[in-house]
Chains A and B, each alone.
Chain A
Amino acid sequence: MLRLDNLTKTYRTGDRALSGVSFTVEPGQVVGLIGPSGAGKSTLIRCINRLVEPSSGQVFLGETELTRLGRGALRRSRRRIGMIFQEYALVERLTVMENVLSGRLGYVSFWRSFFRKYPTDAVSKAYGLLDRVGLTDHVDKRADALSGGQRQRVGIARALAQDPDLLLVDEPTASLDPKTSRQIMRLIVEICDEHGLPAIINIHDVALAQQFVRRIIGLKAGEVVYDGPPDQLDAEVLTRIYGEEDWSATIRAVDEDEALDEPTTSDEEYLSPESVLDRERMAGLS
Chain B
Amino acid sequence: MPTVWRRPPLITNPRLRWAVYLGSLTYLVLAFASVDVNWMRVYEGLDRGLRFVKGFLVPDFVSRWGDIAQGMQESLTMTVTSTVVGILISVPIGIGAARNIAPLPIYLVCRGIIALSRSFQEIIIAILFVAMFGFGPFAGFLTLSFATIGFLAKLLAEDIEDIDEAQAEAVRATGAGWWQVVNYGIQPQVMPRLIGLSLYRLDINFRESSVIGIVGAGGIGATLNTAMDRYEYDSAAAILIIIIVIVMIAEYGSSIIRGRIQ
- Chain A residues near B (Cβ < 8 Å): 49, 51, 75-79, 81-83, 85-87, 89-94, 98, 102-107, 110, 113-114, 155, 158, 162
Contact = CB atoms under 8 A, between A and B. Distances in A.
B166 A89 contact: yes
B175 A78 contact: yes
Interface in B156-191: 164, 166-167, 169-177, 179-180, 183-185, 188-189, 191
B184 A102 contact: yes
Given A89-B166, A93-B192, A106-B175, 13 more contacts: A49-B173, A75-B175, A85-B169, A91-B170, A91-B171, A92-B167, A93-B188, A93-B191, A94-B184, A94-B188, A110-B180, A113-B184, A155-B170
A275 to B, nearest CB: 32
B167 A91 contact: yes
B97 to A, nearest CB: 22
B188 A92 contact: yes
8 contacts: A78-B174, A81-B173, A89-B166, A94-B184, A105-B180, A106-B174, A110-B180, A158-B170
Given A78-B175, A94-B188, A89 B170 contact: yes
Interface of B: 164, 166-167, 169-177, 179-180, 183-185, 188-189, 191-192
B53 to A, nearest CB: 50
A85 B33 CA distance: 63
Nearest to A83: B173
A51 B184 contact: no
Nearest to B186: A91
A78 B173 contact: yes
Nearest to B175: A106
Contacts of A102: 171, 174, 176, 184
A113 B183 contact: yes
A91 to B, nearest CB: 5
Contacts of A105: 171, 174-177, 180, 184
A103 B174 contact: yes
A162 B172 CA distance: 12
B209 to A, nearest CB: 33
B261 to A, nearest CB: 10
A90 B176 contact: no
A91 B175 contact: no
A106 B174 CA distance: 6
A51 B171 CA distance: 11
A91 B183 contact: no
A101 to B, nearest CB: 9
Nearest to B261: A93
- The residue among A51, A83, A89, A104 with the most chain B CB atoms within 10 A of its own CB is A89
A162 B175 contact: yes
A90 B170 contact: yes
A110 B167 contact: no
In the A-B complex, the 9 residue pairs with the closest CB atoms:
A106-B175, A105-B176, A78-B175, A79-B175, A89-B170, A93-B188, A89-B166, A83-B173, A105-B180
Q: B171, B185, B192 — which one has the most chain A CB atoms within 10 A of its CB? A: B171
